[in-house]
Structure 1
Amino acid sequence: METRLSPSLLAWLRCFEATARHGSFTRAAGELCITQGAVSQQVKQLEQWLARPLLIRTPRSLVLTPEGKWLGVVLRESFESIEGTLSQLRRAPRSDGPTTLSCSPSFAMRWLTPRLGHFMGQHPEVGLRVYGEFHALDRTRMVHDGIEVAVRFDPGQYEDVQATQFLDEWLVPVASPAFLAQHPELQTPVDLNPGWLLHDASPWDGGDEFAEWLHWFQAMGCPAPELKQGQRFNLSQLALGAALAGQGVAMGRAALVLDDIVTGRLVPLFGRSVQSHASYHFVSQRFPSEAMRLIEAWLHDEARQFRALRAQTLPAPRA
């Protein structure tokens, strides 16, 4: 029997693939920008056309049947291949143009940009545009927004894009010498007045506004104070700017504060670093271009050099 991929069948398959990947009609509807009812109806029509169930609907969840799992895998791989090819074709006419790098803003300003001269010197043939963004990424968003490659600071857990950790992160509270001179009583973590704390309220897309301080206090074996009393900012760069101005104590990420520590503009407190739950990832779609491979290799090399300097400057987190 001949099977043609009619427009209706393609729509049914797209809805089923998104549902199988998310395990939810609601999340699939959000990705496809249609209603939950429309997604459910499209999947039901596919099941009727195949004359077999693909999903077992329970009050709490959707469970794929063996046939549903098989079809879901085939569709996912097929759609990834199609989207990757389309992305390559869209880039082809402007292959001599610049490559766009979407990067977490604070990391772009304090770590990436000061090092870009090294990359430009090594690869003058590669044009590079950097955009400061920190929204979470998946395959659909990268294709839709035309994002070729990105750097993100987050806990990872990417599923449908290529993501490689190139730099881990150490957390250490920092303050200016002037602030410490005004508060000589600040000797141990329990001396931290919650009103002094400067928070990056968006450590990563979806991250809790107090996630880094809570993790640090837990690792130090100290109860966390009332964190809501401190100042809050939507970028780590802004919290660090307040610390540099003597307004309080910021949670420093080593990648963002090491230069200020080396020059004495900021002072690390309490003689201990804590391993962050988040790290820096190089994120790309499938089939990376030569420029993307060069950028990734350069980031890994710069990260290796940075880790060596970090180890000389800060105490390593305890295992």
Structure 2
Amino acid sequence: MAYRLPSMVWLRAFEAAARHTSFTAAAEELGLTQAAISHQVRSLEKQLGYPLFERLPRHLKLTEMGRAYLTPVRKAFDELSASTTGLFGPAGETVLNIRVPVSFGVLWLAPRLPEFCRAYPNIRLRLHSVVWADDLPADRIDIDIRYGHGSWAGFRSELLFRVPSVPVSPIGSHVSRPADIQEENLILIMGLEDYWLRLFERTGLEMPTHRQLVTVDTSMAALELVEAGMGHTIVLRCFAERFIAAKRAQRSFDMELPQDNAHYFLFREDEKALKPEVRLFRDWIMEEAASA
């Protein structure tokens, strides 16, 4: 089969110029002159028959066709780079170190990972599950997933998803409204202890103080205690779904608590360009998160 492909040199110049929005910066990265990068991009535009950039006084701006073309070009480079490293690299594989909160890793990410591994068998994943984000040095991590406000020193962040929290009860519990839980045992999660207070305040009820309160450090542990009949908890809806679908727990009642915090994809600020395997994982997890 004959492929109508432009020069890889031209495509590389286009991708670098698009990433930096500058021929000069692209030239510095690739070790060429600014004139050489400009010539290569013009050659590409001539072959394609479309302008890819608007040449503005101080920077470049992708045209609509340029934006559309950049996505498959970048993905092709990423997959080619990852495959080359995987097949011919010294270790025969690319290793991606991912730090995730325990509950996110077990309840949300793990069920979805087989799809990524089938698509990119040459990328070996190392998942580092942590309760607190600083449990592992940042220099050992390629990707960081965190739950919070979206701003962390030394990192750039991209929103994965924001979902509400829901109350969850043991199977067979006879509760249908917040007042029914006032006389029950409540399970709190460290750092998220205000969930129950907010729920009761929204319904004009007092936070019970005479019932047994159990505090755990993860949503996963809270759900396990609910399954054991220990009491009721409030967790993010995306965490509760697996337990509810497996009939290991049930929704207490039809009520959701909106959350300001969210899950974010983080990478270090000092990385000028993401490694190909990091970009592949980011693109994949963003697609998954869009349906969360």
TM range (shorter): 0.5 to 0.7
Residue number in structure 1 paired with 2:288:
302
Q: Which residues of structure 2 form unaligned runs of 5+?
A: 1-88
Indicate which of 173, 193, 198 corresponds to 2:182.
193
**8 A contact 1:195–1:231 mirrored in 2:** no
Aligned match of 1:293: 279
Cα distance between partner residues in 2 of 1:293 and 1:125 = 15
Match of 1:212 in 2: 195
1:142 matched residue in structure 2: 138
Match of 1:124 in 2: 121
DSSP 3-state at the match of 1:114: coil
In the alignment, which residue of structure 2 is the partner of 1:14? none
Deviation at 1:290, TM superposition (A): 0.9
Which ranges in structure 1 are unaligned for 5 or more consecutive residues?
Answer: 1-91, 202-206, 307-319
5 Å-filtered alignment, 1:2-151, equals: 96-136=93-133, 142-143=138-139, 146-151=140-145
Q: Give the drift of 1:252.
A: 2.3
Show CA shifts across 1:204-223 (max 9, x none): xxx3x513223333444443
Closer/same/farther in 2, CA of residues 226 and 277 from structure 1, 3 Å limit = farther
In the alignment, which residue of structure 2 is the partner of 1:250? Answer: 233
Using a 3 Å threshold, how does the CA distance of structure 1 residues 290 and 227 change in structure 2: closer, same or farther? farther
Q: What is the TM-score with the length of structure 1 in the denominator?
A: 0.57
The aligned counterpart of 2:220 is: 237
Measured in 2, the distance between the counterparts of 1:95 and 1:218 equals 57
Partner of 1:246: helix, strand, or coil?
coil
How many equivalent residue pairs? Answer: 201
CA deviation digits over 1:50-100, x for unaligned, max 9? xxxxxxxxxxxxxxxxxxxxxxxxxxxxxxxxxxxxxxxxxx987944110
Contact 2:94/2:122 (<8 A) preserved? no
2: CA distance between counterparts of 1:284 and 1:93?
A: 25
**Aligned counterparts of 2:92 and 2:266: Cα–Cα separation in 1:** 20
Counterpart of 1:155 in structure 2 is 149
Amino acid at match of 1:127: R
Q: Which protein is richer in helix relative to its size?
A: 1
Q: Secondary structure of 2:291's partner?
A: helix
Q: Is the 8 A contact 1:101 1:148 kept in 2?
A: yes
Question: What do the CA deviations read for 1:204-257 (whole angstroms, capped 9, x no partner)?
Answer: xxx3x5132233334444432228831111111111001112221111211211
Q: Distance in 2 between matches of 1:262 and 1:136?
A: 29
Give the % identical residues. Answer: 22
2:252 aligned partner = 269
Partner of 1:170: 164
Q: Distance between the aligned counterparts of 1:220 and 1:111, measured in 2?
A: 30
Shift of 1:152: 1.1
More moved, 212-221 vs 101-110: 212-221
